[in-house]
Structure 1
Amino acid sequence: MADVDTDTLLRWLRTFAASVAAQKDTLTALDAAIGDADHGANMDRGMAAVVDALAATPPADPAALFKQAGMTLVKSVGGASGPLYGTFFLRMAPATGGAATLDPETFAKALRAGVEGVVARGKAEPGDKTMYDALAPALDALDGALSSGESLADALRAASAAADEGRDATTPVVARKGRASYLGERSAGHQDPGATSAALLVAAAATAVAEQEPEQGAG
């Protein structure tokens, strides 16, 4: 299975930024129903800043990329999303071990470290109606597919499908964390905006790695 290089990780974040930009109004509408109506705008601004920062100072390795992305998000995004997504990438950085490329297992381990950072920061648990409800099943699907010998591209496709299912499952749930929890029972019936952007994050990783693997296998 192909290792993930820094160029692929850059493509991941650019793809995620483009997805957020395209879905900005949808994310804002979802957040308007149960939050502050700023998730789309905040994430769009933050990811645009990440793309600009990485273009201005190209990272030398995956750890540098994740650290730069995380710090940029923390500095440029308000609300809860900046600290949570920033923590996600900042926790991924040391989990790479400073490697120049990441084998599938190390990439999966880094993703799990990032999600553990999100949990530590937001105190989220399964079923709380947060981004964790998309990320947790995605990690489990990723690990399961890799342990079965699937390629990273196929494993990430499975992870993306699981993230989408987790996102959709937030709709009937009563929120127990964040701004949405203030609404109590009225939060049910609305898809969680954080889980929605998290599913976009996983889908972007699947896209970026799928684009890399033919290149790696072609020589």
Structure 2
Amino acid sequence: MELTSKGLKDFFREVVEMIEKEKDYLCDLDRKLGDGDHGVTMSIGWQAVEEKLNNELIEIEDCGKLSVAVGKTFLNAVGSSVGPLYATGFMRGAKTSKNKAVLNDCDLTEYWIAFAKGVKDRGQAEVGDKTMVDTLEPFARKLETSFTNSQDFELAFSEAVNAAEEGMNSTKDIISKKGRSSRLGERSIGAQDPGATSAYFILSTFLQFIKNNSAKTV
């Protein structure tokens, strides 16, 4: 498939809608581990992104500039630790899509791998720390190997999202080692990490987006 800058904007708008639907659930997860505000924080960030999409970004056709703006807008709207993580992810993705109005399968693969690696680099977390890296690291590894083998982006991304879901689910069984929830120690076992969950939701939203628009330029 090919994704235009308009398609990228449409995807971001679908993330806004998804976050609004999942906001309460994400807060419920966060109450078991932290301040209980993860859903609200994500909502604030993505509402700011939507406003930017509908105003300053409406004429932007460079996918790189678009992704930079989304990352910076999210960061400026969100004061918590998740702001720099997503900002870094989208700004790393922007480097792979600079000066491109249309992204092909290779571009999209590079974009999402760069996004996941950016979040990991900024957060200084590893798989097993009970963070969004538990979702994103297996996702990126699977996307890279599957696309290399198949050269089929939709197939590779679908397999990568399955790996992301397994990673998200694994956070229930591990002790939190990062952030405020690390103070809970063994009491954090049994609770699914909200950051890993929202990261999975964003990836699965993109998967559904490309399935709905398969075999055409969007």
**Does structure 2 retain, via aligned residues, the 8 Å contact 1:67–1:90?**
yes
Find the counterpart in structure 1 of residue 127 from structure 2.
Answer: 126
**Does structure 1 retain, via aligned residues, the 8 Å contact 2:63–2:98?**
no
Q: Which moved more, 1:92-101 or 1:160-169?
A: 92-101
- The within-5 A match list for 1:182-201 is 182-201=183-202
- The within-5 A match list for 1:90-101 is 90-101=91-102
Find the counterpart in structure 2 of residue 19 from structure 1.
Answer: 18
CA shift digits 1:135-191 (9 cap, x unpaired): 111112222221222532222222221111110010010011111111111111100
**Does structure 1 retain, via aligned residues, the 8 Å contact 2:65–2:98?**
no
Q: Residue 55 of structure 2 aligns to which amino acid in structure 1?
A: A
Whole-angstrom distance in 2 between the partners of 1:162 and 1:119: 16
Rate the CA distance shift 1:150–1:94 in 2: closer, same or farther, 3 A: closer
Find the counterpart in structure 1 of residue 75 from structure 2.
Answer: 74
State the Cα distance separating 1:87 from its structure 2 match: 1.4
1:37 aligns with 2:36: yes
Runs of 5+ unmatched residues, structure 2: none
- Give the TM-score normalised by the residue count of structure 1: 0.92
Find the counterpart in structure 2 of residue 51 from structure 1.
Answer: 50
Runs of 5+ unmatched residues, structure 1: none
Q: Which moved more, 1:208-217 or 1:85-94?
A: 208-217
**Does structure 1 retain, via aligned residues, the 8 Å contact 2:130–2:178?**
yes
- Give the TM-score normalised by the residue count of structure 2: 0.93
Q: Which moved more, 1:163-172 or 1:96-105?
A: 96-105
Q: Residue 110 of structure 1 aligns to which amino acid in structure 2?
A: Y
Q: Helix, strand or coil: the match of 1:215?
A: coil
Rate the CA distance shift 1:216–1:111 in 2: closer, same or farther, 3 A: closer
State the Cα distance separating 1:85 from its structure 2 match: 1.0
Q: Residue 39 of structure 2 aligns to which amino acid in structure 1?
A: G
Q: Helix, strand or coil: the match of 2:79?
A: coil
Whole-angstrom distance in 2 between the partners of 1:112 and 1:151: 15
Whole-angstrom distance in 1 between the partners of 2:142 and 2:16: 24
CA shift digits 1:88-117 (9 cap, x unpaired): 111211122422212222222122222222
State the Cα distance separating 1:13 from its structure 2 match: 1.3
Q: State the aligned residue count.
A: 216
Question: What is the percent sequence identity of the aligned residues?
Answer: 34
- The within-5 A match list for 1:105-184 is 105-149=106-150, 151-184=152-185
Whole-angstrom distance in 2 between the partners of 1:71 and 1:97: 16
Two-structure CA RMSD over aligned residues (Å): 1.6
Whole-angstrom distance in 2 between the partners of 1:163 and 1:18: 21
Whole-angstrom distance in 1 between the partners of 2:114 and 2:18: 23
Whole-angstrom distance in 2 between the partners of 1:124 and 1:42: 21
Whole-angstrom distance in 2 between the partners of 1:179 and 1:95: 33
Q: Residue 51 of structure 2 aligns to which amino acid in structure 1?
A: D
Whole-angstrom distance in 2 between the partners of 1:216 and 1:151: 15
Q: Residue 92 of structure 2 aligns to which amino acid in structure 1?
A: R
Whole-angstrom distance in 2 between the partners of 1:26 and 1:139: 25
Find the counterpart in structure 1 of residue 6 from structure 2.
Answer: 7
Q: Which moved more, 1:48-57 or 1:139-148?
A: 139-148
Q: Residue 133 of structure 1 aligns to which amino acid in structure 2?
A: D
CA shift digits 1:113-135 (9 cap, x unpaired): 22222122211111110001101
